[in-house]
Structure 1
Amino acid sequence: MRRRPGLGLGFGTIVACLGLVLTACQPGPEPSPTPSTPSATSTPVPDASVHFTAQGDISLGNGARKVLDVIAGLKPQLNLALGDLSYKAGKEQEFCDMVTGKLGTELPYQLLTGNHESDGRDGQIEKFARCLPNKLPGLEGDYGKQWRVDVPEQNPVVRFIMVSPGIKFPDGPLDYSPGSDRWRWTESAIDEAKALRIPWTVVGMHVPCLSIGNYDCLAGREFTNMLIEKKVDLVLSGHDHVYQRTYQLGVGAQCPRLEPAAFSQGCLADVDDTLEQGAGTVFVTVGVGGVGFYNIHNDDPEVDYFAAAAGKNQNPAFGTLDVTATPSELAARFVPAEGYNFTDSFMLQRK
């Protein structure tokens, strides 16, 4: 880490089905390098929509409870918890009880590990995943660490791909280097979504690469450039306790590669708030789920990549990203918790 300056059967059949249901709710085995590839393409229902919220860096405090109140009021179909959950060791069940007490037990409150629960320092991701299990049908992978799912399961509108680059576990960090099994798993999940004509691809990971908060490119330059080259629509992260959204970033003749800790005008694919799908990727850090704030560093060399930012020294606000995706557009907005005023919004439209 570098400090910057600046989602009538017989008894035997019933038992078998119950076993399958229970198995689906448990953390799965290590993901295979290549996801299965269905043969048919997706045809979303024209008026279908997927409504989800996303935030990370939560805690057990009053700020976290205020954000959960916002989520409850928004009534999403699912929530993505982008890591760093309780911030206290041995409090997994207390965290789960806080979430279900605010949101109920039926909402898919989908987990991705952060660094605070990956190494057991402030809880264990496996224990969180037992009391807040996967509730989305069709999920593949290792729930809590690396998984993917299409929503809805039939004729999906969004493919969610959740990964853990830059995160240390007791036996070391997971390998997302070019050509590794996890790199190829991620590439294949993105490519398959496009082959199936799923309208939107959303990648979630705890640590960002681009940031004008406290950290440098923990997600990895190569991995981040791969997401841009694959034209992932939206990349979500936490870890930095700020809200920050980039413009739409793309690579090409004017920007062969995006280099962290630097700025290139050629990497800006679009700089307004209504964007066309396919031109590039939008990166949003929502590390304001309730634990605290870091400063925004406006002297950071990456600052001109960002369309909006809020932190301790600039419009601080706990809150959540609120996203609604239809087959034709993906509309996102930041919704602040009670007592805060900062907002942000943008839209992606399909060609």
Structure 2
Amino acid sequence: MARSLGKRGKAGIGACLLGLALLLSACQPGPPEPSPRPSPGTPSSSPAPSSSSPAPPSSDAAPAPGEPVHFTAQGDIGVSTGAKKVLDVVAGLNPQLNLALGDFAYKAGLERQFCDMVTARLGEDFPYQLVTGNHESDGHDGDIEKFVQCLPNKLPGIQGEYGTQWRVDVPAQNPVVRFILVSPGIDFRDGPLDYSRDSERWRWTADAIDDAKSQNIPWTVVGMHTPCLSIGNYDCQAGQDFTNMLIEKKVDLVLSGHDHVYQRTHQLSTGGDCAELVPASFTSGCLADTDGSMVQGSGTVFATVGVGGVGLYNVHAEDPEMQYFASTSGKNQDPALGTLEVRATADELAARFVPADGYTFSDSFTVRRR
């Protein structure tokens, strides 16, 4: 016959059960810890504020491999109120990078002031990517080397001489866009760089285009300060042969500044009824597609975005090259400061002109892959 437990035994068992219960409760997950408060200046996920006080683009904006690429581009900027308005637009659009197409401060000694103006609106880590214009290439109205120091390259995998002639694939792995930035038609301290037919710089550019195609990178974008076709104040400073080479190799989009207008061509091609593009004239056979929705491989679109902040030039409608253009804006016709915004996926390149505050002009176009 089993003996019954006394008071001491019952108390011991009760203590053991209580201790086991406490141990099990300690192993259960507690309520989640509250998320840490962001430190001052940390970008948030809330919608971008108005252009009057834009937040800098987020520092983690770099695209993952194969994801869409979102960028802006403009040239001829200055350090004026207009420049700040355009930078505010860029900040509000929150792109992954910006192509600054030359002519920055327009005065020697203002390099740091220009850089501070940019970083104050876009952030220290934002890829504000430079290619020189004629105002800073020879040191007369600024020094491209000083701009490169205070606005250095922020993109991985860049090749070439940043600020003058360079290329980069974005994203770095499984890229969607190859950017090729060059400097034809610009005087440097030792004179102009040689982009004549079959020169070293010509071959570097042509090889960069061919290599992008051999790697099946969906889109090729060439940027430079000087255009060839223009209904502004300048003639073909980029060079006729160099421009025709870009068309022959079917570069998708060529961006420039220099002329203080916005101008965007139809899709242009050579061959057949257009043996070559001849500046200061018009050949209808060079028009490959004249609507706003184009197909890759049919030709090249040229866009001049020389409206990044400085004063505008007139559009010369009597220029025979005018018939190559699908959209134009200048001092005497739909004036606007602003930026080109481009979104590129593996299947489509979609672009639009976004005006700064106080302007209404707009333009848009798409190029789709076959």
- Which runs of structure 2 are paired with 1:184-263 in the superposition (5 Å)? 184-263=203-282
Work out the CA distance in 2 between the residues paired with 1:349 and 1:252: 22
User: Match of 2:328, as an amino acid?
Assistant: A
Given that 1:235 and 1:283 are in contact with CA atoms closer than 8 Å, whether structure 2 keeps it comes out as yes
Who is 1:281 aligned against?
300
Other-structure match for 2:354:
335
- Aligned residue in 1 for 2:95: 76
TM-score, normalisation: structure 2: 0.82
After TM superposition, list the pairs within 5 Å mapping 1:261-272 onto structure 2.
Answer: 261-272=280-291
For 2:20, the equivalent position in structure 1 comes to: none
| Partner residue in 1 for 2:106 | 87
Instruction: Name 2:167's counterpart in structure 1.
Output: 148
**Aligned with 1:165 (options 184, 189, 196):** 184
- What is residue 300 of structure 1 aligned with on the other side? 319
One-letter code of the match for 1:48? E
The structure-2 alpha-carbon separation of the partners of 1:46 and 1:128, relative to structure 1 and needing over 3 Å to count, comes to closer
For residues 122 and 102 of structure 1, what CA distance do their matches in structure 2 show? 23
For structure 1, which runs of at least 5 residues remain unmatched after alignment? 1-43
Partners of 2:271 and 2:108 in 1: CA distance:
46
2:74 to 16, 30, 55: 55
**Partner letter of residue 94 of structure 1?**
Q
1:96/1:131 contact within 8 Å kept:
yes
C-alpha distance in 1, partners of 2:180/2:64?
Answer: 22
Unaligned runs of 5+ in 2: 1-62
Distance 1:332 1:124, change over 3 A: same
- Residues 45 and 280 of structure 1: is their aligned pair in 2 closer, same or farther, counting only changes over 3 Å? farther
TM-aligned CA deviation for residue 46 of structure 1? 9.5
Q: Percent identity among equivalent residues?
A: 72
The amino acid across from 1:83 in the alignment is G
Partner of 1:16: none
Which 4+ runs in 1 deviate beyond 3 A? 44-47
Q: Distance in 2 between matches of 1:254 and 1:115?
A: 35
Cα drift, residue 163 of structure 1: 0.2
Q: Say if 1:190 and 1:232, in contact at 8 Å, map to a contact too.
A: yes
Task: Tell me the residue number matched to 1:347.
Answer: 366
Aligned to 1:23: none
Q: How many residues align?
A: 308
Offset of residue 45 of structure 1: 8.5
What is the aligned partner in structure 1 of residue 121 from structure 2? 102
Residues 124-135 of structure 1 mapped to structure 2, 5 A cutoff: 124-135=143-154
SS of 1:187's partner is helix
Q: Does structure 1 retain, via aligned residues, the 8 Å contact 2:65–2:173?
A: no
For residues 172 and 160 of structure 2, the distance between their equivalents in structure 1, rounded to whole angstroms, comes to: 15
**In structure 2, do the counterparts of structure 1 residues 174 and 251 end up closer, same or farther at CA, with 3 Å as the change threshold?**
same
Q: What is the CA-CA distance between 1:98 and the residue it aligns to?
A: 0.2
Q: CA 1:280/1:45 → structure 2, altered by over 3 Å: closer, same or farther?
A: farther
Counterpart CA distance in 1 for 2:288 and 2:356 is 31
Q: Is the 8 A contact 2:66 2:173 kept in 1?
A: no
1:117 pairs with 2:129: no
2:52 alignment counterpart: none
**Match for 2:299: what amino acid?**
G
Deviation at 1:47, TM superposition (A): 6.6
| Alignment check: 8 A CA contact 1:46 1:327 kept | no
**1:302 partner SS:** helix
Partner of 1:34: none
CA distance in 1, matches of 2:97, 2:125: 10
Cα distance between partner residues in 1 of 2:140 and 2:337: 24
Matched-pair contact (CA < 8 Å) for 2:65–2:171: no
Q: Give the root-mean-square deviation of aligned CA atoms.
A: 1.1
Q: Report the residue type matching 1:84 in the other structure.
A: D
Residue in 1 aligned with 2:44?
Answer: none
- Alpha carbons 2:263, 2:325 under 8 Å: kept: yes
TM-score scaled to structure 1, two decimals?
Answer: 0.87
Q: Could you list the per-position Cα deviations for residues 279-316 of structure 1 after superposition, in whole angstroms to 9, with x for gaps in the alignment? A: 00000000000011000000001000000000000011
State the one-letter code of the partner of 2:336: A
